[in-house]
Structure 1
Amino acid sequence: MNEDFLSLLDLQQRILAAKRPIEVAFLAVNLAHTLIPYRQAALWGRADGVIAVSGAATVESGSPYLLWLGQVFRHLSNLSIPTALTAAALPAGLTEQWSDWLPVHALGLPMDGETLLYARDEAFAEQEIALLAHLASLVRVSRLALLPRATLSQRLKAADGRRTRIGAIAALAVALFPVTGSVLAPADSVPAHPIIVRAPLDGVVDHIAVQPNDSVSEGQPLFELDATQLTGRLDVARQQWATAEAEYRQAAQAMVFDGKAKAQVAILAGKAEEKAADVRLLESQLARISVKSPRAGVVVFDDPTDWIGKPVAVGEKVMAVADEKDTEIDAWVAVADVGEVTAGARLTMFLNTAPLSPVHATVRSIAYEASARPDSTIVHRVRASLADPADRPRLGLKGTARIDGDAVPLVWWLFRKPLATIRQYVGF
């Protein structure tokens, strides 16, 4: 109980020290786990929609997860007291997707126009509900206290002529104040120098000896091709070789008494050597159907069941072996933002597992052609090398990357996207 009380005091102090409402929202969904363990959290407002989600620096309002979450919050907007929730509490259209986006149990906390949601695999105890309800009250009061009390137009009307002129000059100065333009993009930690393991010959994958992300040593078997066809061809080749050898020996013995047989000896010797070469080739191919790891590292590939029984061509990639700590950043920049990214730009990645400990990198390359991601978005791939080799995130970690661009006026930074959208529809 003492630990919970100290955690509550620490979180309360952080919330009271926040300068903006969005900072309070970020603390509520990301740092409340120091008080009560949970897997996911989100804050929603009746006017603003989804304001913040755990593990993300920004809210991508068009993603399928946030669209579904907004429908759930609108259904929960009439809550008056903290309420424990499961999929059964939602309409049929929303219940079917609950398991895709949220754990089994959730807790909805109404906050006078806003709703705070925490979710995890275990049900919330009464003591935990009471602590989170207290936290929700503190979050709502803090966000209300940080909201502006009057609009800009009201302030300008209340000011006299001199103060109006000073305000206009200050606004112009602020509008022209140079800021660093930046774009946000989802990012992954990927292998920097992987070794690609390819199929050594045409065949069918018979067995996968490792699982994804397994640690392997050099020379450890990775996968094996089906040997049935090669074994049969080798048996036939050996039989043909034996037959050719027998014909050659017979002709060699007969040439002592038959002059015509002497002319056939060279031909039969060449035929026997040809069959021997076929046998040696098939034996070498049979020896290569078991593929071994070229180095020690971590195996990177998809589900092994997708490969078993699949035909592969010689040289086709099956998997890769990479050093778990030899990583770089792979970011996916939207088509509308790729013009702001240049080679050599500074990239900062905020990991989902550690959003307060950013990783710094430098943009190395930008794909000139856009490609589709599994979430149906069209993006450009950006590769970045880590600035500090000692501070490399583990392979496979995900997060959000902020890519800094050139210095631009603040007004351009604020209105670039709205102007681009208007131009698409208006035409000038």
Structure 2
Amino acid sequence: MEATKIITPVIPVQNRAIVQPQPQQQAAINTVLARLVNLSVSALRAESLQKAGNIIVNQIHTIVKAERVVIVPLKDKDRILCISGDLEPSQDNSFAQAAQEIRKAFGKESEPKVISKETLPQDLNAHNAEKVLEAMGGTQLLWMLVPPPHGKSPMYALWLERWENRPWTEEEIKLLSHATVFFGHALVPREKAKKTAKARLKLWLTMGIIFLGMFFPIPARITAPVQIMPDHPYYVFAPFDGTIESLAVKPGEKIKKGDLIFRYDTRMLEKRLEEAQRGSLAVALAELARLEGAAYSEEEARARIPVQKLEVERRKSEVTFLQQQMGMSEVRSEAEGVVVLDDPDALIGASVQTGELVMSIADPKQTKLRIMVPVSDAGWIKEGSAAVAWLDSDPMRSIYAKVNRIGFDVRMSDKHIPSILVEAEWEKKESANAMPGARGTARIDGPKVSIGLYFFRKPLMLLRTVIGI
């Protein structure tokens, strides 16, 4: 009996069995995907393209490890859009030039490209890029284009570095390829949100209120520099020509009548007086004595005596004049008050002429305000206008006055502004007791004008000057 063969059919295996990941691997995958979604949402919600780029380069390390991340524009004149750890990347350093060289070489590569010093084309002549790839123990640069939405041409590329020649895995490159799809939607210019009807209504109401407020009347107030000046001071003039040797007073010093103010240099006077006494006068007296002795026998001598007497008197007058000048070489005050003097050092050694003003002595109880008002504001000031002054020495104290004189001549102020001199008198006598020479700021109240005219008057004046309307 023949043995029966049992043929077992062979079923071909068409598909391999799918290996399910382990629980730990599945948890890691879920974590990476959650981080990718979080990064993409943050970039998409960014207020501007620049902020979206900063979010990408500074948070991409949550899904892949990279030491440095850069977003490189492909068509813009800037070489770097964003770089990790730097809010304002430089466009002129060697790294930016390296980005320019890599962009020029691989800007049209549609597939991700891992670049190292060994894979860099030799004919590229990219010295800066070579230095970047040589640094940090060898750099593995991953270059991939960021696909834009709606099928447009790529505008940016992603630059990721790993140092010490650590390689990029195929899984990481695939993950980043998926991530760049979201990044492409985030790296687009933002459109400004349209204003709602309520916002437009609020804007029009605000503009209407501002427009109507322009017609609200307010007093025109002019602010200008002010200086306390003596009222009817005693002026000290030079009594004769000469050179001032020294000053005996200081600016602001209180002096009494008869106090020494300054001295002349008397060396030339002393020399001239000695020459006049011992020379000219002595010779004239000797000649007169000789003529008087010879007058008994000589008729010519008797005739010359009257002329010689006149010569003696002239020489005596010269000596007397020099003695009077010596007596006036020490100039003393003829009034009591405070010394008003701008620059005392400029007087020492200065030559003065007869009648030249040297200084003034003011009574502190008799002062006035001198206000240098710009010419553009002078039209609003009238005699009797109220004024308020704040001195630099006491800025918290308000001193009230009234305008009593308005000048007509245009002068240059200390700030080189064409101005009109305006004087004001104190409203209260006790306010006049201010130190002459003190400076500060004054405000003069003018007529009431609209707010619009008050604030836009000077721009309109400038516009009229430029355009001629």
* Corresponding position of 2:147: none
Matched, 1:255 2:321: no
Query: Does residue 426 of structure 1 match 2:467?
Result: yes
Match for 1:377: what amino acid? I
Contact kept? 2:407, 2:422, Cα under 8 Å: yes
Secondary structure of the residue aligned to 2:268 is helix
Question: 3-state SS of the aligned residue for 2:308?
Answer: helix
Note the residue ranges of structure 1 that are not aligned, 5 or more in a row: 1-150
User: How many Å apart are 1:175 and its aligned residue?
Assistant: 4.7
Q: Which residues in structure 2 correspond to 1:232-271 (within 5 Å)? A: 232-238=271-277, 239-271=279-311
Change in 2 beyond 3 A, CA 1:266/1:213:
same
Question: CA 1:299 to 1:154, structure 2 compared with 1: closer, same or farther past 3 Å?
Answer: farther
Task: Output aligned runs, 1:87-106, within 5 Å.
Answer: none
Q: 2:257 aligns with which of 206, 213, 218?
A: 218
Highest Rg: 1 or 2?
Answer: 2
In structure 1, the partner of 2:242 is: 203
Structure 2 counterparts to residues 16-415 of structure 1, below 5 A: 154-155=201-202, 157=204, 172=212, 175-238=214-277, 239-392=279-432, 393-415=434-456
Q: Distance in 2 between matches of 1:308 and 1:267?
A: 44
Q: Say if 2:233 and 2:362, in contact at 8 Å, map to a contact too.
A: yes
Q: How many residues align?
A: 270
- Percent identical among aligned pairs is 31
Distance in 2, matches of 1:342 and 1:290, equals 46
Cα–Cα, structure 1 residues 157 and 278, in superposed 2: closer, same or farther, change >3 Å? closer
Are the structure 2 counterparts of residues 153 and 206 from structure 1 closer, same or farther at C-alpha, using a change threshold of 3 Å?
farther
Give the TM-score, by structure 1 length. 0.58
Q: Which has the higher contact order (CA 8 A, sep 6+)?
A: 1
Given the two structures, how large is their TM-score scaled by the length of structure 2?
0.53
Are the structure 2 counterparts of residues 289 and 154 from structure 1 closer, same or farther at C-alpha, using a change threshold of 3 Å? Answer: farther
Contact 1:241 1:272 in 2 (8 A): yes
The amino acid across from 2:270 in the alignment is: T
SS in 2 for 1:370: strand
Letter of the structure 2 residue corresponding to residue 269 of structure 1: K
Amino acid at match of 1:400: T
Partner amino acid, structure 2, of 1:237: A
Which string of whole-angstrom CA distances, capped at 9 and with x for unpartnered residues, describes residues 240-299 of structure 1? Answer: 112212211221222122222211111111111111111111111121111111211111
SS in 2 for 1:348: strand
Q: 1:241 to 1:181 in 2, by over 3 A?
A: same
Task: Kindly report the root-mean-square deviation, in angstroms, between the aligned alpha carbons of the 2 structures.
Answer: 2.7
Helix, strand or coil for the counterpart of 2:382?
coil
Is the CA contact 1:325–1:395 (under 8 Å) kept in the aligned structure 2?
no
Which amino acid in structure 2 is aligned with residue 274 of structure 1? R
Cα 1:152–1:394 shift into 2, 3 Å = farther
Matched residues in 2 for 1:358 and 1:277: separation? 59
Rounded Cα–Cα distance in structure 1 between residues aligned with 2:407 and 2:199 = 43
Deviations 1:36-75 (A, max 9, x none): xxxxxxxxxxxxxxxxxxxxxxxxxxxxxxxxxxxxxxxx
Identify if the C-alpha distance between structure 1 residues 373 and 416 changes in structure 2 by more than 3 Å, giving closer, same or farther. closer
The 1:385/1:158 distance shift into structure 2, 3 A limit, reads: closer
8 Å Cα contact 1:190-1:329 kept in structure 2? yes
Give the secondary-structure state (helix, strand or coil) at the position aligned to 1:241.
helix
Residue ranges of structure 2 left out of the alignment (5+ in a row): 1-197
